[in-house]
Amino acid sequence: MARSPDILAWRKYPEPDGTEFRARELETEDRVEALFDSCQILESVIFASGWRLLFQRYGLAGLVRINKRSGWFNEEDDAEAEESLIDEARLAGYDPVGDVFGAQGETTGEFYA
């Protein structure tokens, strides 16, 4: 069964169906922080369309601020956290720098739109 395009992220709990995140579930920084918390323990995934919404809604600086509270990526080094957030989005299929969907090459690390 195909995933509905309005599902931006997914958490595996509560079982058996998990939790689907749509735009309305990501309207506050607290909810995004909770999503980041569950991503860092591999309970959740943010899809490419979810990353696009997050970057458009909060910007890179806002996501770094949320990450500092969550601690998903290095919360002590903003530049490292920025790089990690961009890399995570690219791995999911969204390049926030170019605002394009595509794929990151496994061997090259380059992003292909």
Q: What is the pLDDT of residues 56-76, one digit of tens each?
A: 999 999 999 999 999 999 878
Q: Is residue 85 part of a domain?
A: yes
Q: What is the percent of the chain where pLDDT is above 70?
A: 97
CA–CA dist 87, 95 (Å, integer): 8
The 3-state secondary structure of 45-69 reads EECHHHHHHHHHHHHHHHHHHHHHH
Residue 36 placed within a domain: yes
**37 lies in which domain range?**
9-112
Domain total for the chain?
1
- Within a domain: 3: no
pLDDT on residue 104: 84
Burial class (CB in 10 A: 0-12, 13-18, 19+), 13: exposed
Q: Which helix (H) or strand (E) holds 9?
A: strand 9-11
Which H or E run includes 96? none
Instruction: Report if residue 95 sits inside a domain.
Output: yes
Decide if 2 is inside a domain.
Answer: no
- Assigned domain for 52 exists: yes
Q: How far is 90 from 97, CA to CA, in rounded Å?
A: 10
pLDDT on residue 109 = 76
pTM: 0.92
Residue 58 in any domain: the answer is yes
Give me the amino acid identity at 22: R
Average pLDDT along the chain, 113 residues, taken 10 residues at a time: 82 92 96 97 97 98 96 91 96 96 84 83
77 within a domain of the structure (yes/no): yes
